[in-house]
């Protein structure tokens, strides 16, 4: 899973109407209000989905965890997906393609977004402080032609990302080979775990990219949820909101 901070123009802070009143004309409640911190606008985050379902779309638990943590962090979220056909449809009870069935990525992603979704073609970096790409094979099949952390490696030369560990360790890290693909693109892979949440996310300060292993590791669901929370917190910190 990867998150990238987007460059945006500065935003104006709201000015309290009480500032125009003379001290003597203010009521006690108005004077007290002047000493409170003005509410800071939340970060504007684009969440980019690639369908609905781990084997042919977005990993649903990852997307849900991101939305929970963004909500807790006070972010303003807009969800996007491309209006294109899926590469194929997987029967998740069998792990095999469903012959003769086709689905649309935007339509399927709308299931996760509860209908509040926008065509990815309309996403503008100028309107957002950050973008987050949940995992799932749909990221490779329908969206990026690679899993989410590898996207950053393809786009940003020398970027630092993590997909967890570099050895399978008896099946605990079944996709550990992805680390070699990241290195082959000239990026740096950083080993991270998931059991200790605050150590589960890697931040590339130079490139403003945050990644976490999530379901790259076979572990308890709450560890993955907490690791995603660490990633979201780091994204919001980088946004300055």
How far apart, in whole angstroms, are the C-alpha atoms of residue 1 and residue 5? Answer: 14
User: Hey, which residues does 164 pair with through a beta bridge?
Assistant: 191
- The beta strands (E) that lie in the chain are given as 2-5, 44-48, 76-81, 90-91, 96-97, 118-119, 130-133, 160-164, 188-191, 202-204, 209-211
Counting every residue, how long is the chain? Answer: 241
Residue 217 falls in the annotated catalytic set = no
Token pair belonging to 13 = 């802070």
Q: Which of 52, 145, 146, 217 is catalytic?
A: 146
Which residues does the annotation mark as catalytic? 146
């Amino acid at each position: 899973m990867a998150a990238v901070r987007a460059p945006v123009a500065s935003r104006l802070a709201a000015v309290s109407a009480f500032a125009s009143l003379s001290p003597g004309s203010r009521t006690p409640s108005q004077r007290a209000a002047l000493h409170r911190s003005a509410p800071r606008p939340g970060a504007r985050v684009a969440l980019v989905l690639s369908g609905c379902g781990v084997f042919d779309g977005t990993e649903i638990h990852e997307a849900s965890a991101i939305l929970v943590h963004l909500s807790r962090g006070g972010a303003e979220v807009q969800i996007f997906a491309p209006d294109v056909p899926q590469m194929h449809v997987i029967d998740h009870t069998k792990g095999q393609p469903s012959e003769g069935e086709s689905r649309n990525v935007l339509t399927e992603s709308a299931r996760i977004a509860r209908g509040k979704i926008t065509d990815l073609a309309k996403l503008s970096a100028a309107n957002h402080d950050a973008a987050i790409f949940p995992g799932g094979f749909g990221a490779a099949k329908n969206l990026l032609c690679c899993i989410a952390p590898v996207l950053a490696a393809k786009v940003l030369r020398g970027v630092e990302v993590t997909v967890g560990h570099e050895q399978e360790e008896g099946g605990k890290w079944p996709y550990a080979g992805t680390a070699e693909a990241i290195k082959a693109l000239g990026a740096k892979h950083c080993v991270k775990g998931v059991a200790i949440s605050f150590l589960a996310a890697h931040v590339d300060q130079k490139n403003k990219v945050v990644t976490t292993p999530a379901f790259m590791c076979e572990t308890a669901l709450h560890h993955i949820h907490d690791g995603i929370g660490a990633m979201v917190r780091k994204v919001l910190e980088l946004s300055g909101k």
